[in-house]
Amino acid sequence: MKVLVATLNAKYIHTSLALRYLKAFCQRDFDISMAEYTIKDPPMHIVSDLYQKKPDVLGFSCYIWNIEETIPVIRTLKKIKPELTIVLGGPEVSYDTEYWMERIPEVDFIVRGEGEETFYHLLSELKGEGKMDSVLGITFRKNGKVVSNPPRPKLDLNAIPSPHRFEEDRPHLPHRVVY
């Protein structure tokens, strides 16, 4: 199972810390990579690049500044690759998950709150038995209805590996801002 986490940053110089935390937490058991774009990139450029990476699961980190630009990317990807599992997370979609699941029917899951442990558990169930009712902190569809599982307890921050040690980041970090 190939997992890709992505976001549309506000500017090229920005670097998403959320993606790096997800990768750091999940990479011990999953083939996970990152892709970053900007809200100014043409949607078809983003779609083409993501499609060429051939993910099985694609997670988007969503914020107030990128949600409207992310939606057409999601819709187009789901049209050309309907089997793609799409997961949303981030502050813009966490607070009103039923609204976002209804507004974007192409979305399969929303991760609420701290994403590291929840995303890891979701990936484990997608790879394994598919018991989504056991994944705390997700919203998903079951028998045509939107279901929100109870929230996950707060994560011990000491349990999260450092998000600042990826080889692919080294050439770019001196010229970018991590937020």
Encode the chain in three state secondary structure: CEEEEEEEECCCCEECHHHHHHHHHHCCCCEEEEEEEECCCCHHHHHHHHHHCCCCEEEEECCCCCHHHHHHHHHHHHHHCCCCEEEEECHHHHCCHHHHHHHCCCCCEEECCCCHHHHHHHHHHHHCCCCHHHCCCEEEEECCEEEECCCCCCCCHHHCCCCCCCHHHCCCHHHCEEC
Question: What's the confidence (pLDDT) of residue 64?
Answer: 94
Contact between 9 and 173 (Cβ < 8 Å): no
Question: What's the confidence (pLDDT) of residue 102?
Answer: 97
pTM equals 0.89
**Cα 74 from Cα 51, distance rounded (Å):** 11
Q: Output the CA angle 94-118-34, nearest 5 degrees.
A: 85
Question: What's the confidence (pLDDT) of residue 6?
Answer: 96
Question: What's the confidence (pLDDT) of residue 12?
Answer: 61
Question: What's the confidence (pLDDT) of residue 110?
Answer: 98
pLDDT tens sequence across 91-110? 999 989 999 999 999 999 99
Q: How far is CA 105 from the centre of its chain?
A: 16
Residues in the chain: 179
Question: What's the confidence (pLDDT) of residue 80?
Answer: 97
**Cα 71 from Cα 139, distance rounded (Å):** 18
Mean predicted lDDT score pLDDT of the chain: 90
The parts of the chain modelled with pLDDT lower than 50 are: none
Phi, psi (degrees; rounded to nearest 5) at 70 = -75, -35
**Cα 121 from Cα 119, distance rounded (Å):** 5
